[in-house]
Amino acid sequence: MIRATYTDKQFDKAMQDALLRAEQAYIDGLIEIGIAFVADAKANGQYENDTGNLRSSIGYIVAKGRKVLSSSFKVVAGGNKGRSKGYFLAKSLLANNPDKLIRLIVVAGMDYASILESKGRDVLTGSSLRATSNLRQLAERVRNGN
């Protein structure tokens, strides 16, 4: 007969610790992807940077439920209005976020970002496509415990 050398309580604690490690690895990975996404979008945006507002409105939030765990919205070329609009938009998308859901949100907060995209200018689309592969890799790493 095989007998466990641990108690149910010890087993439950080990499982909880493993889940917390996996969750933290997922959060850390989302933060890395958010940082890379923003850098990519700002560097490769196909539009003029007249006021700095559009590039300043590009940023990310990683949140669990409605709690922001990490975010980055940095002012570019005096675009204070853009930074505020981007952060407000990203934060507003958390209003109905379920309590335990961990989410990466990336935005371009200026209203005219979608107009530029519809005219074939890359604001976020190219960065989104490139980030998709990073998200798949992150899911695989977390699934495999790396």
Of the pLDDT bands very low, low, confident and very high (cuts 50, 70, 90), residue 67 is: very high
Return the beta strands (E) in the chain as ranges.
Answer: 58-64, 67-72, 102-108
**What does the pLDDT read at residue 75?**
92
Percent of the chain with pLDDT over 90: 56
Q: How far apart are CA 29 and CA 130, in angstroms?
A: 15
Residue the block writes with tokens 């010890």: 10
Helix ranges (DSSP H) in 45-104:
53-57, 80-92
CA distance 110 to 72: 16
Share of the chain above pLDDT 70, in %: 99
Please tell me the distance from the alpha carbon of residue 115 to that of residue 110, in angstroms, as a whole number. 10
Determine the average pLDDT of the residues in 113-119.
92
Would you kindly state where each structural domain of the chain is located, as residue ranges? 11-143
Asked if the model's pLDDT at residue 46 lies above 90, the reply is no
Tokens of 122: 């890359």
Average pLDDT, the chain: 90
Q: What are phi and psi of 70, to 5 degrees?
A: -160, 145
Considering only residues 145 and 82, tell me which one the structure prediction assigns the higher pLDDT. 82
Residue 62 or residue 7, greater confidence: 62
DSSP β-ladder status, 102-108 and 58-64: antiparallel
Cα 136 to Cα 131: distance, rounded to the nearest angstrom: 9
pLDDT in the model for residue 55: 94
Within 13 Å and on the Cβ side, how many CA atoms surround 38? 29
